[in-house]
């Protein structure tokens, strides 16, 4: 009788569904965290902070892998097609999931339908910055001068499909100024030309420009925050400059292919939210001028859905394109 019972239990164990067995063992091997941008930028820095801390907490290697290209859509499309087993993740961000799917033609994924959104990891502010010798030294100057020029104003952008690109176009739409984006391959090359005076105006993420603003090689004339930014308390918001509701943030999170196991998603979300509260991470975020939001997977998904709606409206209204 004992033998029969033991055989029955063993038979029942072998009939557990494979996904349940895999889920119970997760993570059992290294995890890839794909970064849709080149090394060195804010997206890459956030990814490396997450990878190092997740590796320690999960007990498996978490490898940060840079795969830039096509407005951050190349890497995102590849992750969307990966197995939803929790071993291939992507740093979803304002470009790859908020803007590029509308701005670029033939993007091979849907920001909502093709992904499991796990956690929002960081947000950073956007500033309107100028060369100190640029003719406009305030938003009022910029609007006045821009309206006088039929050919509009040139402004540097660090990539198509970024919030900085679309914010510049949105400012033009609100003020009646023709805004001409000058594309650079990243914030670094753009900053070199703006500091040199080749292009006088730059819509930039605060992490890359804050050092230059502090040493005086650049000047901020507005920030795209709802309130004044704690790192630039003397700089007015765009709302204060007469453009109400004009806010813009770059954001960075973690997503995976659609269909990931809820238990794996919950584990990752819990670990990421705990990492964001670590004193060393908070200090590093402060250096980056980044904030650490606290969101559940459902809240992060809703956040992305709203970003897609807002920036889609801007793309359609301005006729912005990356092609």
pLDDT (tens digit, 9 = 90+) per residue, 237-277? 999 999 998 999 899 999 999 999 999 999 999 999 999 99
pLDDT beyond 70 at 235: yes
Confidence at 155, pLDDT banded by 50, 70, 90: very high
User: pLDDT grade, residue 19 (50/70/90)?
Assistant: very low
Residue 175 pLDDT more than 90? yes
Mean pLDDT score, 55-64: 96
Q: How far apart are the first and last CA of the chain?
A: 74
* Spatial separation of the C-alpha atoms in residues 6 and 127, rounded to whole Å: 68
In which residue are the tokens 């007015």 written?
236
pLDDT-derived band of residue 234, with 50, 70 and 90 as boundaries? very high
What share of residues in the chain are helix, strand, coil (percent, to 5)?
45, 20, 35
Q: For residue 149, is pLDDT > 70?
A: yes
Q: Work out the average pLDDT over 126-150.
A: 95
Segment 16-36 shows an average pLDDT of 75
- CB under 8 Å to 74, separation ≥6 — which residues? 36, 67, 68
* Tens digit of each residue's pLDDT (9 = 90 or more) over 182-206: 988 778 889 999 999 999 999 998 9
Dihedrals phi, psi of 63, to nearest 5 degrees: -100, 120
Beta carbons within 8 Å of 242's beta carbon, 6+ residues apart = 139, 140, 143
| Top-tier CATH class for 125-223 | alpha beta
Cα separations in angstroms, 3 against 8, 12, 14: 9, 14, 17
Q: What is the reported pLDDT for 102?
A: 86
What per-residue confidence (pLDDT) applies to 24? Answer: 57
CA torsion 38-40-46-48 (nearest 10°) is 90
Q: Which of 38-42, 66-70, 149-153, 222-226 has the lowest mean pLDDT?
A: 38-42
Beta carbons of 219 and 236 less than 8 angstroms apart: no
Cα 94 from Cα 96, distance rounded (Å): 6
Distance CA 288, CA 282 (A): 10
Q: Please tell me whether residue 308 adopts helix, strand or coil conformation.
A: helix
Q: Which residues of 286-296 are buried (b: 16+ CB within 10 A; e: fewer)?
A: eebbbbbbebb
Q: What is the pLDDT of residue 3?
A: 38
Task: Give the pLDDT confidence score for residue 15 in this predicted structure.
Answer: 45
Residue 69's pLDDT is what?
80
Mean confidence (pLDDT) of the chain: 89
If one counts every other C-beta atom within 10 angstroms of the C-beta of residue 244, the result is: 11
DSSP alpha helices (H): ranges in the chain?
A: 2-14, 18-25, 42-58, 73-80, 100-103, 139-147, 163-175, 187-196, 206-215, 262-275, 279-288, 297-318
Which of these CATH numbers, 3.90.1150.10, 3.40.1440.60, 3.40.190.150, 3.30.950.10, describes 29-124+249-318?
3.40.190.150
23: phi then psi, degrees, rounded to nearest 5: -65, -40
Residue whose C-alpha is closest to residue 103's, from 307, 315, 306 = 315
Q: Do domains 29-124+249-318 and 125-223 have the same CATH topology?
A: yes
**Listed residue (258, 261, 276) closest to 117, CA to CA:** 258
Boundaries of every domain in the chain: 29-124+249-318, 125-223
3-state secondary structure of 309: helix
pLDDT value of position 7:
34
Burial classification of residue 182, based on how many CB atoms lie within 10 Å of its CB (0-12 exposed, 13-18 middle, 19 or more buried): middle
């Amino acid at each position: 009788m004992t033998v029969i019972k033991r055989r029955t239990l063993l038979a029942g164990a072998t009939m557990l569904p494979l996904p349940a067995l895999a889920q119970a063992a997760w993570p059992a091997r290294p995890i890839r965290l794909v970064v849709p941008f080149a090394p060195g930028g804010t997206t890459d820095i956030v990814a490396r902070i997450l990878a190092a801390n997740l590796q320690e907490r999960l007990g498996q290697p978490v490898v940060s892998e840079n795969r830039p290209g096509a407005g951050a859509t190349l890497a995102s499309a590849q992750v969307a097609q990966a197995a939803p087993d929790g071993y291939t993740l992507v740093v979803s961000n304002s470009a790859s999931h908020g803007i590029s799917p509308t701005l670029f033609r033939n993007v091979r994924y849907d920001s909502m339908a093709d992904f499991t959104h796990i956690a929002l990891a960081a947000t950073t502010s956007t500033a309107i910055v100028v060369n100190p010798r640029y003719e406009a030294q305030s938003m009022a100057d910029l609007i006045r001068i821009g309206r006088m020029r039929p050919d509009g104003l040139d402004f540097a952008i660090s990539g198509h499909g970024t919030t900085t690109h679309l914010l510049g176009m949105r400012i033009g739409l609100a003020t009646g100024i023709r805004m001409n984006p000058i594309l650079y391959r990243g914030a670094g090359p753009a900053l070199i030309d703006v500091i040199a005076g080749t292009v006088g105006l730059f819509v930039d993420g605060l992490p890359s420009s804050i050092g230059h603003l502090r040493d005086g090689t650049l000047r901020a004339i507005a920030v795209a925050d709802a309130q004044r930014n704690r790192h630039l308390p003397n700089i007015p918001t765009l709302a204060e400059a007469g453009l109400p509701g004009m806010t813009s943030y770059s954001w960075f999170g973690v997503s995976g292919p659609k269909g990931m196991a809820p238990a794996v998603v919950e584990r990752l979300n819990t670990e990421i939210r705990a990492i964001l509260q670590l004193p060393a991470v908070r200090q590093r975020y402060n250096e980056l001028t980044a904030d650490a939001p606290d969101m559940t997977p459902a809240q992060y998904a809703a956040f992305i859905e709203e970003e897609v709606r807002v920036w889609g409206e801007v793309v359609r209204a301005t006729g912005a394109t990356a092609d």
